[in-house]
Structure 1
Amino acid sequence: MAGFYHWRGPDLILDCHLQPGARQIGFAGQHGERLKIRISAPPVDGKANGMLIDFLAREFAVGKRQVSLLSGQQSRQKRVLIESPQQLPAALGIQRPG
């Protein structure tokens, strides 16, 4: 698994494909060149985006303010910035630079 992330200094940028309204929350492999993430919240009133940010903050051990949407607020295709992630979920196979 790779191709869905890159580093910008200490910060991680993820290209995601969101599946809102899923039964379970979690990482679900790759969707093309993007990381597929299942979210149980519906795609209304920013609920799915909010749950995505909560989920990624937990998974990467950062505060919610350190997770932000760079693009795709109204789309399933999103680009997310995670500032200085404290942990990298093993299932994703993300390598720190260097």
Structure 2
Amino acid sequence: MPGRTRSDGIEIRVRATPRGGRDAVEGIEALSDGSRVLKVRVRAVPEGGAANEAVRRLLAGAFGVPASAVALTAGGTARLKTFFIEGDAAALAARLAAMTGQDS
């Protein structure tokens, strides 16, 4: 899984592609170090935080939570980012597994 569960939600590592032509969660990607990330693309440009906001809203929609429950915690100016999604950790992990075809 490209993240870890916490008592109050789930932390997810994301590889974001801005100016990607569409807003979509594309699945799991393995990095060269063997770690796994959730691959997403958004139409927004990486200026003024627009792409980060688009990724935050995309994740909120994909996980069925309000946008206010999703926060960028690391990687504000990098392609690899960490987001925290507040909520029931088990339900969020199950949603991630279903979304990506992975075991939770």
TM-score, normalization: structure 1?
A: 0.84
Written as runs of structure 1 = structure 2, the 5 A alignment for 1:57-96 is 57-84=60-87, 88-89=95-96, 90-92=98-100, 93=102, 95=104
Quick one: structure 1 residues 23 and 31, their matched pair in 2 at CA, closer, same or farther if it must change by over 3 Å? farther
**How far 1:24 sits from its partner (Å)?**
1.8
Gaps spanning 5+ residues in structure 2: where? none
2:18 to 7, 11, 20: 20
Quick one: structure 1 residues 31 and 44, their matched pair in 2 at CA, closer, same or farther if it must change by over 3 Å? farther
Question: Could you give the per-residue CA deviations for residues 49-80 of structure 1, whole angstroms, max 9, x where no partner exists?
Answer: 11111111111111111100110111111000
RMSD between aligned residues: 1.7
Cα distance in 2, alignment partners of residues 14 and 91 from structure 1: 13
Gaps spanning 5+ residues in structure 1: where? none
Please give the secondary structure, in 2, of the residue aligned with 1:41: coil
Written as runs of structure 1 = structure 2, the 5 A alignment for 1:50-61 is 50-61=53-64
TM-score, normalization: structure 2?
A: 0.79
**Equivalent residue number for residue 9 of structure 1:** 7
**How far 1:31 sits from its partner (Å)?**
4.5
Partner amino acid, structure 2, of 1:19: T
Structure 1, 22-31 or 7-16: larger mean CA deviation: 22-31
**Equivalent residue number for residue 50 of structure 2:** 47
Partner amino acid, structure 1, of 2:81: K
What is the number of residues matched between the two proteins? Answer: 93
